[in-house]
Amino acid sequence: KAGVTQTPRYLIKTRGQQVTLSCSPISGHRSVSWYQQTPGQGLQFLFEYFSETQRNKGNFPGRFSGRQFSNSRSEMNVSTLELGDSALYLCASSPLTSGGVYEQYFGPGTRLTVT
């Protein structure tokens, strides 16, 4: 079974620009979560989608948004990029349906550098 894929793997953007990152979950997984990893703040939850609906959202400004498509693929968008948005963005998929606690499987991440 193919793992979680994320594209692109590396990205360099300029302050003020916007960026869209893509994540394809493991086949059959309907829950997709996004995390930001930085040396200073560690791993922080951005949002979680299930069946095209945002279920949870972390404490990030409105510049960070996401969506999920009917095939469970997800995208996250960051508008008006700031230097502090430079990070590794990780996507995770889970077979979570309702209740229960299921492991999350992570993709390789997209490393975003804002200059």
Partner 1 sequence: AQKITQTQPGMFVQEKEAVTLDCTYDTSDPSYGLFWYKQPSSGEMIFLIYQGSYDQQNATEGRYSLNFQKARKSANLVISASQLGDSAMYFCAMRITTGRRALTFGSGTRLQVQP
Binding site for partner 1 (CB under 8 A): 33, 35, 42-43, 45, 48, 55-56, 58, 88, 90, 92, 96, 99-101, 103-109, 111
Instruction: Report residue 9 CA to chain centroid gap.
Output: 12
Q: Are the C-beta atoms of residues 115 and 12 closer than 8 Å to each other? A: yes
Residue 16 CB, nearest distance to partner 1 (Å)? 26
Residue 93 CB, nearest distance to partner 1 (Å)? 11
**Ramachandran quadrant class, 42 (left: phi over 0; alpha: psi -120 to 50; beta: rest):** left
Task: Specify the residue, 28 or 42, whose C-beta has the smaller distance to partner 1.
Answer: 42
